[in-house]
Structure formats: C-alpha cells, structure tokens
C-alpha cells in the first residue's frame, strides 16, 4: 500500500505553520515534509511532530537563509565554503527533527566547473553525514530557470559516480513530466536509485488526480514494484487542502 506524506510548505497553508501538523494528522497522514523549516524554532517543530505522532520525511538543504536568497548553491563554483557551513546547520536541523531525507539543492550554475563542484560537494556531504540519507532532485528549468540539475540522466550520472550508500535520487513527477514528458518511463529508468517521491498533476501542479498523469496507474505500479518510501503531495491545492484529498483516500 502506498505511504502518502503531506508537504506542509504547500499544503494546509490556510493555517498557521505549526497548526498544519495537526491538520495533516487529522487528514490521515503519518508523515510530513517541510522544504525550508529554518525560520521556525526546531524544538517547536519537534513538539508538533511528537504530539501528533508524525514522522518528518524530508527537508531541503541549503540554504537556511532561503527567503530572498538563491535556491541552493551546491553546484556553484567558488561557494564551497558557504555550502559546507550551511550544510552543517541544515544537517543539525535534520537530525533534530529526525528527518529521513535531506535534499541538497544544486542551485543555478553552468559552465565546465559546475558538475565537478556539485560532485565534490555531494561526496564531501555524504562522507560527513554517513548516517543521513541525502537526495538530489532534477528540477525543470521552467520552474527554476538555470537550475543546474535539470535532467534525470545527469542525476543518475552524479549518483552513480559518487556511489555513496546514503546518496539517492528524489523523483518529482511534475518535474519528470516537464523534463521528459514520460513519467512512467522515467520512473522505470530511475527507480533503482530513487529514495523519495513527490507528486503533483500536470499542467497546473495541483492535486494528483484528473489531468495528464495517470496517478492510479502510477501508484499501483509503485506498489507492485515494492517501493517502500514516502510519496509526498507537493502541489498547489485548487481549493482548500482537505477538499482535494480524494487522491489519498482513493489510492490507499
């Protein structure tokens, strides 16, 4: 049976942040993810997770100072010292929250030095945190113009070249649809290196129900293949979050 998870950065935003944990539990979720939790006291988040018996599936890294700043810089030549400093803070947050995965963002970068910089930073991070699952996520360039990790073949190349047991791929169906136009085929090609899944419908990035992607088929395929990780709803609800949770009940 698929294990569904709520992304509290995108869902239940009609509520103050710390109230979203209770709403997620009441809606039937057993885990949540938060993209950038760094503006909230970590202990307050731990208290909310504990009170409502929720697991933290994933947080993003870096940057802790996300608002108004770059969306990651792990592939940006010359910012290695900043990456290491902010990775340390993000790792402490992840450990405090019990986050299963820490998603390392490449940031906007190009040129000959971007890939070796990304690989070097990821290899360093994997060695620094051998007990922490780390993920990287291909993100389409319409959503994040100039984002370095913008295709799945590059993601596979990086994961396999580093060959660290704690570094895997994060598979977002919306980005897969935008990048390749073939979610099921891309999943089949990447599932052996994937640790975490996020879902949203095409083309509006809303609930994973009616639209271009056949989600009942996708969820059934993951279940049949024995995928045991979380499937996180990272989408923009069309109305209230609760009104759009039929995709969870229909596929559970």
Query: Which distant-in-sequence residues (6+ apart) come within 8 Å of 200 by Cβ?
Result: 172, 173, 174, 206, 207, 208, 233, 234, 235, 236
Helix (H, G, I), strand (E, B) or coil at 247: helix
pLDDT at 129: 97
Query: Could you say which of 53, 127, 137, 212 is catalytic?
Result: 137
pLDDT at 244: 95
How many other C-beta atoms can be found within 10 angstroms of the C-beta atom of residue 234? 23
Catalytic residue check, 137: yes
One digit per residue, the tens of pLDDT, for the chain of length 252 reads 789 999 999 999 999 999 999 999 999 999 999 999 998 999 999 999 999 999 999 999 976 555 666 778 999 999 999 999 999 999 999 999 999 999 999 999 999 999 999 999 999 999 999 999 999 999 999 999 999 999 999 999 999 999 999 999 999 999 999 999 999 999 999 999 999 999 999 999 999 998 899 999 999 999 999 999 999 999 999 999 999 999 998 887
- Lookup result for tokens 């402490």: 92
Record the pTM. Answer: 0.95
Full DSSP string of 106-133: B-B--STTHHHHHHHHHHHHHHH-TTSE
pLDDT at 159: 98
Query: Could you say which of 127, 207, 212, 234 is catalytic?
Result: 234
């Amino acid at each position: 049976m698929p294990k569904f998870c709520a992304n509290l950065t995108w869902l239940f935003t009609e509520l103050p942040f710390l109230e979203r944990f209770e709403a997620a539990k009441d809606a039937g979720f057993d885990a949540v993810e938060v993209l950038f939790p760094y503006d909230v006291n970590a202990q307050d988040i731990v208290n909310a997770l504990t009170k409502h018996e929720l697991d933290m599936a994933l947080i993003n890294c870096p940057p802790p100072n996300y608002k108004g700043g770059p969306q990651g810089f792990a592939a940006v030549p010359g910012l290695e010292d900043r990456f290491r400093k902010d990775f340390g803070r993000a790792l402490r947050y992840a450990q405090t929250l019990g986050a299963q995965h820490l998603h390392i963002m490449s940031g906007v970068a190009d040129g000959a030095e971007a890939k070796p910089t990304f690989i070097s930073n990821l290899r360093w991070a994997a060695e620094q945190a051998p007990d922490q699952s780390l993920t990287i996520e291909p993100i389409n360039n319409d959503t994040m113009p100039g984002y370095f990790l913008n295709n799945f073949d590059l993601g596979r190349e990086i994961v396999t070249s580093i060959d660290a047991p704690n570094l895997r791929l994060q598979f977002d169906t919306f980005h897969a649809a935008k990048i390749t136009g073939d979610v099921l085929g891309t999943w089949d090609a990447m599932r052996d290196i994937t640790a975490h899944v996020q879902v949203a419908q095409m083309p509006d990035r809303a609930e994973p129900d009616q639209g271009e992607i056949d989600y009942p088929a996708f969820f059934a395929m993951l279940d049949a293949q024995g995928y045991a990780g979380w499937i996180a709803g990272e989408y923009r609800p069309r109305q209230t979050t609760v009104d759009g949770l039929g995709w969870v009940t229909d596929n559970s």
